[in-house]
């Protein structure tokens, strides 16, 4: 009886041990070795996949868990909420056996942004207040501060969450520039604000110059200090969100956990501006 019990325990524990000791090549070749979940061990840039093709990028914090659906040399593919993403292997605990330490989960806890303060009677609209003193624009070969009065009369804001390192963003931006120029000429009450996810202020400035962004942008050092703006961003980029002057969302690149993309927001923006004119 004892020998049967030992044999049973060995048969149950052996796959776990082989999974922990398996190399990446072995894991990629044998789905039976895949763990059910992996944990992201450090802040990572992940590729958002739609129908197996890259559709955007997203930043994933340490401690997030992915339900594994694929393993290859270029990363671990898995489900994160309603999104399918691919994360670099070295940013997960895959080769450590697919289990995550408690301290990683603790590190990943995010503070809930404080709600925007209530407006006093006669004050400027919410979005103008939230962006006051935080904006720059391309001028004279560099980024220059923008006067608060630049937003007078703006009724619709398209918040553009993007970065130079994001391939799908670089594909989307040139067409968005053309869209903006056409819409702005007819609808001065419309404005775009670029919210950068670049790795430095220099990368942000280079991205704006290279793509000829004609719109406004949040100062790089103000982005992490502005939870009232960041709360509009979805988990991946490019993310475009249209809000009114009071901050009410009119169109979003995300429908819940489903990424519908910035193109849908452009269509909605054109319709809303036409209706309001």
Residue-wise pLDDT tens digits, 157-196? 999 999 999 999 999 999 999 999 999 999 999 999 999 9
Percent of the chain scoring above 70 in pLDDT: 82
Give backbone dihedrals phi and psi of 37, rounded to 5 degrees, phi first: -135, 155
Radius of gyration of the chain (CA): 23
Residues of the chain with CATH 3.40.30.10: 126-276
Using the predicted structure, report yes or no on whether residue 9 has a pLDDT greater than 70: no
What CATH number should be reported for the domain whose range is 126-276? 3.40.30.10
Q: How far is CA 132 from CA 92, 136, 152, in A?
A: 40, 11, 11
Q: Is the pLDDT score of 120 beyond 60?
A: no
How does pLDDT run across 208-267, given as a tens digit for each residue?
999 999 999 999 999 999 999 999 998 889 999 999 999 999 999 998 878 899 999 999
Question: At 101, is the pLDDT very low, low, confident or very high (cuts 50, 70, 90)?
Answer: very low
Whole-number Å distance between alpha carbons of 163 and 260: 19
- Residue 234 to residue 228: CA distance in whole angstroms: 13
- CATH 2.30.30 placement within the chain: 25-107
Q: How far is CA 69 from the centre of its chain?
A: 21
The reported pTM is 0.66
pLDDT band at 3 (very low <50, low <70, confident <90, very high): low
User: How confident is the model over 79-92, as a mean pLDDT?
Assistant: 85
> Which of helix, strand or coil describes residue 77?
strand
CATH code of the region 25-107: 2.30.30
Contact assessment for residue 47 and residue 54, using Cβ atoms and an 8 Å cutoff: yes
From residue 11, alpha-carbon distances to 17, 34, 54, 73, 134 in Å are 10, 17, 39, 29, 61
8-state DSSP, 235: S
> Is residue 197 within 8 Å of residue 220, measured between CB atoms?
no
The H-or-E segment that residue 160 falls in is strand 156-162
Is 104 in contact with 63 (CB distance < 8 Å)? yes
**Which residues 6+ apart lie within 8 Å of 28 measured at CB?**
71, 72, 73
Q: Give the sign of the dihedral formed by CA 150, CA 151, CA 154, CA 159.
A: positive
Spacing of C-alpha 273 from chain mean position:
26
Q: Report d(CA 262, CA 239) in Å as an integer.
A: 6
Cβ contact 108:71 at 8 Å? no
């Amino acid at each position: 009886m004892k020998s049967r019990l030992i044999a049973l325990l060995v048969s149950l524990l052996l796959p776990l041990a082989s999974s922990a000791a398996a190399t990446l090549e072995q894991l990629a070749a044998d789905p039976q070795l895949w763990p059910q979940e992996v944990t992201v061990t450090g802040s990572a840039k992940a590729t958002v996949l739609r129908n197996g093709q890259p559709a955007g990028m997203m930043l994933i914090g340490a401690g997030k868990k992915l339900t594994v659906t694929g393993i290859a040399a270029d990363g671990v593919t898995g489900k994160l909420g309603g999104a399918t993403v691919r994360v670099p292997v070295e940013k997960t605990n895959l080769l450590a056996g697919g289990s995550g330490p408690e301290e990683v989960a603790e590190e990943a806890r995010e503070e809930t942004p404080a709600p925007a303060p209530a407006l006093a009677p006669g004050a400027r609209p919410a979005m103008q207040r939230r962006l006051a003193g935080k904006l720059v624009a391309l001028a004279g070969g560099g980024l220059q501060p923008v006067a608060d009065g630049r937003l007078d009369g703006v009724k619709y804001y398209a918040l553009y969450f993007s970065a130079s390192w994001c391939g799908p963003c670089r594909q989307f931006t040139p067409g968005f520039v053309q869209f903006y120029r056409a819409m702005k000429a007819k609808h001065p009450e419309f404005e775009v604000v670029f919210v950068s996810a670049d790795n430095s202020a220099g990368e942000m400035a280079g991205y704006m110059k290279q793509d000829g962004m004609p719109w406004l942008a949040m100062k790089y050092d103000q982005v992490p200090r502005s939870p009232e703006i960041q709360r509009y961003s979805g988990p991946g980029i490019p993310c475009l969100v249209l809000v009114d002057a009071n901050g009410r969302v009119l169109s979003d690149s995300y429908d819940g956990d489903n990424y519908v993309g910035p193109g849908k927001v452009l269509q909605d923006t054109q319709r809303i501006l036409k209706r309001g004119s």
